[in-house]
Amino acid sequence: MFVRLDHPSIRWAAFFTGLFLVIPWKVQGLLTHGIFLFFASLLLTFSLMPLLIRFAKAIDAMDYPDDKRRIHSFPTPRIGGLAVILAVNTTLLLNFNYSLEFKGVVISALIVGLLSFWDDAKGLSASIKLLGQMIAVAVLMYCDVIIHFAPDTWWGLSLEYLVTAFWIIGITNAFNFLDGINGLAASLATITCLLMGMLAWHTGQVYMLLLCLAVAGGAAGFLPDNARYQTQARSFLGDVGSTYLGWTMAAIAVMGDWSGDSAIKAYGAPLLIFSVMIFDMIYTTIARISRGDVRSFRQWIEFVGKDHLHHRLMALGCTQAQAVTLILSFSLLMGLAALALVKSDMITVVLLLAQAVIFYLILSLFMLRVKKDD
C-alpha cells in the first residue's frame, strides 16, 4: 500500500506542504490548529525519510539480521527516528511558547535521542546509555517536571525524584522493547499520543493537546516507510526514534495535570494509557528472571530475545500486521477506559482499574500458553 508513496514527486509535495503548515499561522479554532500541527509534523517526517535512508547507508547505520531479536531478512537503515526528531522539533520550535517545564521535556528528549543516534551509528555500552538517561532525568527535574505526591520534606522530595526517574526511564525502555516488528512502535506512539491528547482536551489542557498532536504526527509520518508487510521495510525507527518517542511521551505524562479530583484518577489515567508497555516490560522481566536469563540489572538492560508481547502473539499464529493490530486494540481499549476514568465516580474508577487488571491476567495466560507450546 505504501509503496506507491515512494515516488520523489510525492515526497517533494509532502515537504513543501509540511513547510506551509508548520508556519505559525493565526488560524481560528482549536481543531484547525491541531490539524495543522499534526499534518505539519507528519508530512515533514515523511518527506525527510529518503534523505535519512541515504544518510544511514552512507555511515553504515544499518540493522543486520541475526538470530536473536531481529526477524527481518535484509540489512535495513535504523536511524529513521532522526526524521521524527527533526520534524517534531521544527514544529514545536515554530509554534509553541517554551515554558520551563516544556524546555525540560524538549531538551531532555533531545539528549536521549542524540545519544541513541550515536548508539545506532557507532555503538555505546548499556552503562553509558543509562548514564545519559540519568543526566536527562536531572534536566527534567531541574525544570520541575516531577511527579508530586509526597510531603514537602527531604525524604518526600527524594522519593518524588526516585519515582519520577523510575517512571521516565522505565517507560522509555518499555517502549523501546516493543520496537520489534514493522509498524508497531510508531503506530503505538501515534495512538498513545492521540489518547493523551484526548485526555488533555477532556481535562481542559489545550496546550498539552496541541503538543500531543505534534508528536503523534511525527510518529505517524514514519509509518509509510516502516509499516510494510508484503515488502521489506525501508527503515526502522532505531533506538534514536524509540527512545526519543518513549521519553517524550513519558515526560508529557508527568507534565500534565490529568485530574484535580483525586490522585487515583490523576495517576490511574496515564497508567492505563501506558499499560500495554508496562505489562510487556513487567511480564518479560519476570519471565527472564524465572528462566535464569538475567541475574543483574546490567544483564536486564543488555538482554535481547523473542519473548515480548508481539513475539508471543506471532508464536500463536498471528502475522506481523495482525500482531500490531491486536496490540493497538489493547492500547485503544485501555485508553478509552482512561478517558472514562477521569470523569467517573470512585466506584466506577475502581471497576475500570479492576477490569484492566483482569484483562492483563487473561493476556498473561495466553502468553504462558506460548511458553508451554515452546
For residues 302-328, give the mean pLDDT: 88
Q: Which helix (H) or strand (E) holds 63?
A: strand 62-63
Could you tell me the CA-to-CA distances from 281 to 98, 146, 173, 285, 300 in Å, in that order?
A: 33, 22, 8, 6, 11
Q: Which helix (H) or strand (E) holds 76?
A: strand 76-77
Distance in angstroms (rounded) separating the CA atoms of residues 57 and 77:
7
pLDDT at 372: 46
For residues 108-120, give the mean pLDDT: 94
Is-above-0.85 flag for pTM?
Answer: yes
What does the block give as the cell for 133? 538517561
pLDDT at 1: 66
Instruction: Judge whether residue 136 has pLDDT over 90.
Output: yes
Residue carrying the nine cell digits 532525568: 137
Instruction: Judge whether residue 108 has pLDDT over 70.
Output: yes
pLDDT digit string (tens) for 27-73?
Answer: 888 889 999 999 999 999 999 999 999 999 999 999 888 755 556 66
Could you tell me the CA-to-CA distances from 2 to 84, 181, 231 in Å, in that order?
A: 18, 17, 10
Nearest alpha carbon to residue 292 among 302, 300, 281, 283: 300
pLDDT: which is higher, 254 or 368: 254
Instruction: Judge whether residue 370 has pLDDT over 80.
Output: no
Mean pLDDT of the chain: 90
For residues 7-26, give the mean pLDDT: 94
pLDDT at 71: 61
Residues above pLDDT 70, as percent of the chain: 95
Instruction: Judge whether residue 264 has pLDDT over 70.
Output: yes
pLDDT at 262: 81
- With cut-offs at 50, 70 and 90, classify the pLDDT of residue 180: confident
- With cut-offs at 50, 70 and 90, classify the pLDDT of residue 169: very high
Instruction: Judge whether residue 366 has pLDDT over 50.
Output: yes
pLDDT: which is higher, 180 or 185: 185
* C-beta of residue 298 within 8 angstroms of C-beta of residue 269: no
CB atoms closer than 10 angstroms to residue 127:
11
- With cut-offs at 50, 70 and 90, classify the pLDDT of residue 142: very high
* C-beta of residue 342 within 8 angstroms of C-beta of residue 265: yes
Distance in angstroms (rounded) separating the CA atoms of residues 19 and 41:
9
Residues above pLDDT 90, as percent of the chain: 67
* C-beta of residue 182 within 8 angstroms of C-beta of residue 234: no
For residues 337-346, give the mean pLDDT: 93
Could you tell me the CA-to-CA distances from 80 to 24, 63, 239, 274, 295 in Å, in that order?
A: 26, 11, 9, 23, 33
The C-alpha torsion from 32 through 35 and 41 to 44, rounded to 10°, is -90
Mark out the alpha helices in the chain (DSSP H runs): 8-22, 30-58, 81-95, 100-121, 126-142, 154-177, 184-202, 206-222, 238-255, 263-273, 275-291, 297-302, 309-315, 320-341, 346-373
Distance in angstroms (rounded) separating the CA atoms of residues 195 and 273:
7
- With cut-offs at 50, 70 and 90, classify the pLDDT of residue 368: confident
Amino acid present at 89: N
